[in-house]
Amino acid sequence: MGTATEATHSSLSSWQTAATVSSPSVLERLRAELIKIREDLLAEGDLPIEPATDKADLDEAPLAEMNQVIASKRNQTRGIVLKRVAMALGRMEKDPDDFMNCVECGEPIGKRLLALPYVDMCVACQEESDGSHKTGRRRSVTDYR
């Protein structure tokens, strides 16, 4: 499972070093990357979620239910990524100069963006957003570490 991601990372690393500064060519590469991610996700399609009721087999019902949960969870994750990719492409379209900056603090997102072109926050803001401060996103431009 981890091999596919590793392959993506190694193909990215060749231009990572040159891509720390915001420039049109970097933006183009990020855009191409985003479009590719979107195409891959769309090509993959939703995982079939088997109807659990068909056979009414009591022995298989729990298993079918479990598979259903796994499949819908995966589809959900794909949906989130697809949404983020669409948002990233929209941001790039609207404000290319700002695309490589964190939406929270305005600082450059940096190399993180090259690994995950659809992220819109720097590591510090992302950690804060994922961490204990889940109740609300701070929008203050001056309040960053």
Which residues are near Zn ion by CB under 5 A? 102, 104-105, 122, 125
d(CA 80, CA 103): 18
Query: Structure tokens of 4?
Result: 């596919």
Of the two residues 92 and 100, which places its CB atom closer to Zn ion in the complex?
A: 100
CB 137, min distance to Zn ion, A = 11
Instruction: Say how many C-beta atoms besides its own lie within 10 A of residue 20's C-beta.
Output: 13
CB 130, min distance to Zn ion, A = 13
Of the two residues 37 and 102, which places its CB atom closer to Zn ion in the complex?
A: 102
CB 100, min distance to Zn ion, A = 12
Of the two residues 78 and 144, which places its CB atom closer to Zn ion in the complex?
A: 144
